[in-house]
Structure 1
Amino acid sequence: MNSSVIRVGVSSWDQMHPECVDLLQGKTRCRPGPELDILQLAATMLNMTISFVHSAEKGCGLSRDNGASWTSLMGMLSRNEIDVTGNICYLMEERLSMFGASRPVWYSYQAFLIKKLDPPSIRFKAQAPFDLRAWLVIIGCIVACAVVEAAKELPEKGATLSIRNGISLTWQTFMLFARPPKEVIWIFGTFFFTLLKIYYTTYVLASLLYPAGVQRPFTNIVELADLLESGEYRLLHYHPAKFLRFEFCPPETCLQLTRAVQSKGIYYVNDSSPHRLLQSLIDNNNLVLISTEITLEFYLSKFLQRDKLWLIRDNIFLQMNSYFWRLDFPMRKTLDQALTTIGSYKMNVLKRYVDSAVTKSNKHPQVRAQVSPYTQLRADHGKNLFIQYSVAVAISVAVFLMELLWASIQKWLKYWSKKRSAGIDLTR
């Protein structure tokens, strides 16, 4: 093997283009991707060339049999097919037990990507808050009250005056301009008008709070583990469930995540491309993708429908990402020193490939409702309010009847007490 050539294994994805490494800079807009960009500079500093070996499998690779065999790039390292991984991989304990790794190239918080929740959206329209059917019910009740009042006065005052008085009294009662007559029908009419006003006022108050917001369903891996175990969310991954390992979490939480995957399963996608993964999140309401914040920002920056997704950063666990190589790789110390010397250049490479301003809206802790087509209130929207109000009225009427009954009993007892006293006086 030529000692001036580094065999680099690559598991290609949307932000990795090995074919761009040998193209002249300035004459093409082809970019190899942030991972190969950094590795290419380090190799240039060492006067070494890169030879790419492509992996047919996805990702950096996971252990199959407790370290006996590996998938993807880690498998190629174990078989001495490559010297270094071109992909930057997570520093996982089981990987470090078998392979060497560079000093961390990137530090990034663990993050989660989910589909944005739909907040309640009510757009206020004061002149027509109800739909046609609800308006017919309201107007029908008001007209019925006016007709009943007009019919009562018809024999005495004639048609014209009775209709005018009926409409006037109904309107004054509705607006609470005047005290309604002390009659049963007007008592229930007043209850109806009061209920209608409560219904409308509640709608106005809800509209004043527009746009409504929805908070994040979880904020860290511990809270997410509870949701995964209860089945409210499912893990999305491009590796089968049997290969998954959880290390960036408290030990008890990692066990909880393992149990959740074993009992609830995962949503497996046989494609590691960001478009396929993110489209799966949009097509399903309860999926969650776990990765680093940097990686998820890469995904979002190239995805046209990113406004539909929610990026949640886990401030508890910081993930470290490095290049991996064989433990006997002779250039490991030299290459590691070159990567360390690059220093801040590594972060400048990140800014070249992803603009954090593009994903700023995906990180808000609260999702605000957007202006949506106005949804009119239906008659059955007030069902619960009507039931609660009716129960209150029923209790009030029951208390009133009990007081009336108690007053009648006291009056009756007083009457018989006086009558009995009068009878005793007559017998003397």
Structure 2
Amino acid sequence: MQKQAQTQTEMRLPTVFFLGVNGIIGSGIFLLPGHLYQSMGVGSILVMLAVAVSILTIVLCYANMASKITGNGAAWLYTYNAFGRFAGFEVGIFTWLLGIVTLAAEISAFLTMLTPSFPALKQQGMYLTVALGLLFVLIAINFFGPRLTTLADNLSAGAKVAALALFIGIGVFFVHGANFSPLFPASNHLANNFSASYNQVFYMFSGFAFLPITAARMKNPAKNVPIALISVLVTCSLLYMAAQAVAIGVLGSHLAGQTVPIATAFKQLFGQWGYDVMLVGMAASILGVAVSVSYSTPVVASSLASEHNLLPQLLGKTNRFGAPTVALIFTGILCALLLMSGDYFFLISCMVFTSFLQYVPTVLASIKFRKDTRLPKGFDLPGGLTIPILGLLTSAYLLTNFTWLIVGVGILIFILAAIWYRYDDLDRQKHQRKRDVADKDHWV
């Protein structure tokens, strides 16, 4: 079997750091603080800390695998090498679905953000009309290739960091200490509220999955990967907790249930123009992510089909602009179904669930390859099996927070994917085509 190739491009720590921060911070911090406060009060800050600590165990498992297997693919690639073609195929399907759910969530987040200014969006018919219209525009744009992706990424990164920095930097001077008491709201359902809040905050960190791939391209990954990952997680955690604390300090009990809490807090400080400025920054951030994901998600499916032979070759077809047309159409149809089936909070749960289905095999792969001499030593997890076991426990806790509907849909997708896998295998045998991924991705 072929061993890992040496990394060709080395990235500096600052580059990885800023890419990581941009990848994690999304719409959640702009829309969820009010709901978190309503459930857990001031204790919502502690929920953020708890998630940051627990998610580190999974991130370190990703770092361990990324320092050993540096090919593009992350979870599905680790799963393929550890557990075979079928397992890699299933995780590949859910990797594609994660992008689809993310796109639906960002569109929903954008419309949720606009609801206070345009109350007509509260009507289901109007909401779906605008959501599907925006989806159509995003898909149509991508038929002409990746022209907007770089611009959207840069715009999104600048907008989200600038909006948060402005809010925290100015808002901290208007915090009222009395707003931080009591620590938790008077409720008989704190345990259930914690579980719901934990999932919502976990969603806010869900962009971490690409970080180890980027970090693994650094010089001396065994030393620098954990530094990059921990610094990014600490920075994002501090930004999240600072934004939540400032929002609580400015709005107090008025924060509970706010649809656009950050903008509302800024409005209290500076009036309508403050609200409008923050809303523009939020819109640029969310739309930028939507444009980027609308491009990258079909590319994932196309790559799995044409480069790695894990999906039917039909999904790898491209037009004269290089756009994966079939994958774009399927992505658009599935995203439309998601937009019609639930709201922003439903889509958050779907995102965390599809992420969960990638975390578990990655953690298990890190256990399987822990002492495998066929792979480079890479970044060793300290404490032996302690971190992977904690990662599995974190994943198990996530599983307990999902509704039976989401779990049932996940099982149905798994079964349908297995049928698809079998049908595609028969077709490949008929036309004498192999399913094995490219040699560069098959390390053991």
Same fold (TM over 0.5): no
Q: TM-score, normalised by structure 2?
A: 0.20
Larger RCO, structures 1/2 (Cα 8 Å, 6+ apart):
2
Q: Which has the larger radius of gyration?
A: 1
Q: Which has the higher helix share?
A: 2
Q: TM-score, normalised by structure 1?
A: 0.21
